[in-house]
Structure 1
Amino acid sequence: MSNKPMPLATPISAPFWNGLKEGRVQLQQCNSCQQWTFYPRRHCSHCLSHDLSWKEVSGAGTLYTFTVARIPTLPEFAGAEPQILAVVELEQGVRMNTTLVGLAPDDIRVGMAVKPVRARVSEDGTVLLRYTGADVDLVERDEVPKAPPAPAADAGPARTRIDVKDIDALKALVSDQFSDWSNQILVDQALIDDFARLSGDDYWIHTDPERARKEGPFGGTIAHGALVQVLMSRMQVPLSFEVTGFTNMVNYGSERLRFPSPVPAGSLLHSRVRVKSVEVLPRGTQMIMEFNIHVVGQDRPAVINDLVILYM
């Protein structure tokens, strides 16, 4: 499940959404004046007649206008691709708000020919209508959030081995620069529900999608902060170094733990890390590593965890 806003079919609009599920684009045509109407209404937008019929159309048209949202219009729309909002003028003369896919922003031109793309966006079969260039080989696409494949055990660059006694080399790792991103982890409603049962925290903002959509501040359910923190262990951050020569390594805790932004159900997470400090203590060598976990596409972290590692 995702917190992206989804259409709610009404008795008036249901034929449009059901048609998309079945692979058809349908518009209303007035039987009195033969004009086309969109969005779905009870009456003709031209002569106000209530005598309307649903007719299948190709969905083809031209690009009337567009804009590239460099900052997502909602956090739920953040992703690897830029959000390209558009208005398409169909062959029947009606205009439709949509999203462009399969196109680089530099290749988009007002007036270009475009065609519909059926985008499956949820497991219940809900389909949204996207658009792409008329010459692009794209008809359908699956946008249901899925967990990416786990990286291979030997994936990632070779690491520099640093002996725990080489304090100067360890301190040289301290930096304001973060590592590259880890692999991505899907946080769906099923995982949130499993954690709620395990932890006993079944508060409705996490476990009741319908109530969270209507009453919650985030438009749907969100993951527990503790769940997101725990998932850090499943994110393989590509570190450039490996500490060697110690007898024991202990996860000593967190010097600082913060949850700056929510993680909506259906989000993909990834993380990165930097070495914040290295200190020699009587009980061993302490390294503090700042882990930042982000929803993919968002600049603001969901979790900041200054993890304390003790090498003995």
Structure 2
Amino acid sequence: MSNKPMPLATAISAPFWDGLKAGKILLQQCNSCQQWTFYPRRHCSHCLSHELSWREVDGRGTLYTYTVARVPTLPEFAGPEPQILAVVELEQGVRLNTTLVGLQPEALKVGMALKPVRARVKEDGTVLLRYTSVDVDLIELDEVLKAPPQPSADAGPAKRKIDVKDIEALKALVSETFSDWSSQVLVDQSLINDFAALSGDDYWIHTDPERARKDGPFGGTIAHGALVQVLMSRMQVPLDFEVTGFNNMVNYGSERLRFPSPVPAGSLIHARSRVKSVEVLPRGTQMVMEINVHVVGQERPAVINDLVILYM
């Protein structure tokens, strides 16, 4: 998962969430009228009795209604497939909100038989309940976001070699068009904590997930802007050229550095770039590369860096 909103267990609802962690689906049943209740509460939703017991059910049901969210309900839910939000009516008569998985929108039909899918969403074993058709061979999902494997340094097509003295060829690289996306990097809480310890910036919006969920404007902790900027070095942007023939190359600085949007803890990020300008100066040949870092699936950049590279 990325920094998706997570349910917060209360004293009343904790047995439901603990049950999912243990591989069980638990619902409340009234000891007085025998009716079932969901969402968790202190009293029976039918007779108002406070005599409720938690009992295990198999979770099977039918599709009561659904909607296909082709535009993500939140940026954190962006992905290659649209969200399928649904209400499932269980055999016990209660209804619950969920997400359908393993199904294409055109295969959906109100009243179709569904079964639960346990989706592990956090390393601590937190499980959310998804649903799919009874005909789909799917019981569990691992939705914990993991760092993807990094490509080898020589992966991809061969690059054009351009001599640093060939100024016309370098200037021909200037373009409004960005490169393809780089490899992806996972920005998890552990990495953020390590950077906080290294930099001394341990402000709670970066390092205290519980307080950030309650008091922060982003629903959780976010990465330091400087950390995301530094992580550019880990991303392999697939440039189709390589500058050669220089003695030394230095990152001279940035003409512009902006942090337009946050990177929530647990996000995958990637970058793309373009050559913005090439100029011959007394100290060497200067190239400005505009590098934009995005959270995967989000259109607005998290970092915009006009990086100045000096070839000498």
- Answer yes or no: same fold by TM over 0.5: yes
Give a deviation string over 1:87-135, Cα, whole Å, max 9, x none: 1111222111111222233433333322111111112211110112222
Assess if the C-alpha contact under 8 Å between 2:186 and 2:269 holds in 1.
yes
CA distance in 1, matches of 2:91, 2:134: 13
Instruction: Name the SS of the counterpart of 2:196 in structure 1.
Output: helix
Matches for 1:1-312 after TM superposition, within 5 Å: 3-312=3-312
Q: TM-score, normalised by structure 2?
A: 0.94
Amino acid at match of 1:305: N
After the TM superposition, list the runs of 4 or more consecutive aligned residues in structure 1 that deviate by more than 4 angstroms.
none
- Whole-Å separation in 2 of the counterparts to 1:140 and 1:69: 23
The letter of the residue matching 2:95 is R
Equivalent AA in structure 2 for residue 271 of structure 1: A
> Contact 2:164–2:246 at 8 Å: present in 1 too?
yes
CA shift digits 1:262-311 (9 cap, x unpaired): 11111111111111122222322221111110111111100000111122
**SS of residue paired to 1:186:** strand
1:278 corresponds to which letter in structure 2? V
Q: Secondary structure at the match of 1:308?
A: strand
Residue identity opposite 1:254 in structure 2: S
Structure 1 CA distance for aligned equivalents of residues 290 and 84 of structure 2: 34
Q: Single out whichever of 80-89 and 224-233 deviates more from structure 2.
A: 80-89
Distance, in Å, in 1 between the alignment partners of 2:180 and 2:127 is 34
Structure 1 SS opposite 2:156: coil
Greater mean deviation of Cα atoms: 235-244 or 71-80: 71-80
Contact 1:69–1:85 (Cα < 8 Å) also in 2: yes
- Structure 1, residues 36-72: CA drift from partner, whole Å, max 9, x if none? 2111122221222223222222211222222233333
Give TM-score, length-normalised by structure 1.
0.94
- For residues 249 and 238 of structure 2, the distance between their equivalents in structure 1, rounded to whole angstroms, comes to 19
Cα distance between partner residues in 2 of 1:266 and 1:306: 26
Aligned partners of 1:109 and 1:160: how far apart in 2? Answer: 53
Q: CA deviation at 1:80?
A: 4.1
Deviation at 1:236, TM superposition (A): 0.5
**Cα distance, 1:2 vs. partner?**
5.6
Q: Deviations over 1:225-279 (max 9, x none)?
A: 0000000000011111111222222211111100000111111111111111222
Q: Is the 8 A contact 2:2 2:268 kept in 1?
A: no
Counterpart amino acid of 1:148? P
Number of positions where the alignment pairs a residue of Structure 1 with one of Structure 2: 312
Tell me, yes or no, if the aligned pair for 2:257 and 2:304 is still in contact at 8 Å: yes
Of 148-157 and 214-223, deviating more is: 148-157
**CA–CA distance in 2 between the matches of 1:22 and 1:231?**
37
Q: Secondary structure in 2 aligned to 1:67?
A: strand
Once the 2 structures are TM-superposed, how far is the Cα of residue 141 of structure 1 from its aligned partner? 1.2
List gaps (5 residues or longer) in structure 2: none
Letter of the 1:149 partner, please give it.
P
- Is the deviation greater in 141-150 or in 164-173? 164-173
8 A Cα contact 1:80 1:296, kept in partner: no
Give the aligned residue type for 2:216. G
- Describe the superposition over 1:124-149 as per-residue Cα deviations: whole angstroms up to 9, x where unpaired: 21111011222222111112222111
Q: RMSD in angstroms over aligned alpha carbons? A: 1.8
Amino acid at match of 1:217: P
Q: Give the secondary-structure state (helix, strand or coil) at the position aligned to 1:87.
A: strand
Structure 1 pair 109–306 and aligned structure 2 pair: CA distance change class (3 A) = farther
Deviates more, 1:12-21 or 1:290-299: 12-21
Q: Distance in 2 between matches of 1:277 and 1:135?
A: 57
Whether the 8 Å contact between 1:182 and 1:271 is mirrored in structure 2 is: yes
Q: Which amino acid counterpart does residue 130 of structure 1 have in structure 2? A: R
2:49 aligned partner, one-letter code = S
